[in-house]
Amino acid sequence: VMTQPGETDGYTAFDHVKAIMDHAGENLIEYVLINTEKIPEHLLSKYLADGACPVRCDEGNIKRLGCRVVYGELLGFADVVRHDPIKLAKAIMDIIK
């Protein structure tokens, strides 16, 4: 959802997928889930102040890796931005069906 300062600065969704494939094998990933839910401004500004930013989706590059891109609202909010486990599980189950 967000980059991690000093580790994934400037990473796009493609960069994350490519890094996994480079370490685990190219045919491992068939689907890439991309969040479409807007991050609340008060949380976004906190992350931006710490040097993190939202991970951009570069769908064309992901598709060139042979992956299918699936979009959905996947966030859960508290005092941090994370994937909501229930939303994520539902999205995965929808793909499996």
φ and ψ of 85, to 5 deg: -60, -35
Find all residues with CB under 8 Å of 55, minimum gap 6, and list them. Answer: 1, 2, 3, 8, 11, 12, 13, 16
Going residue by residue through the chain, which has 97 residues, state the pLDDT in tens, using 9 for 90 and above.
Answer: 999 999 999 999 999 999 999 999 988 999 999 999 999 999 999 999 999 999 999 999 999 999 999 999 999 988 999 999 999 999 999 999 9
Every domain of the chain and the residues it spans? 13-96
- Say what the pTM is: 0.89
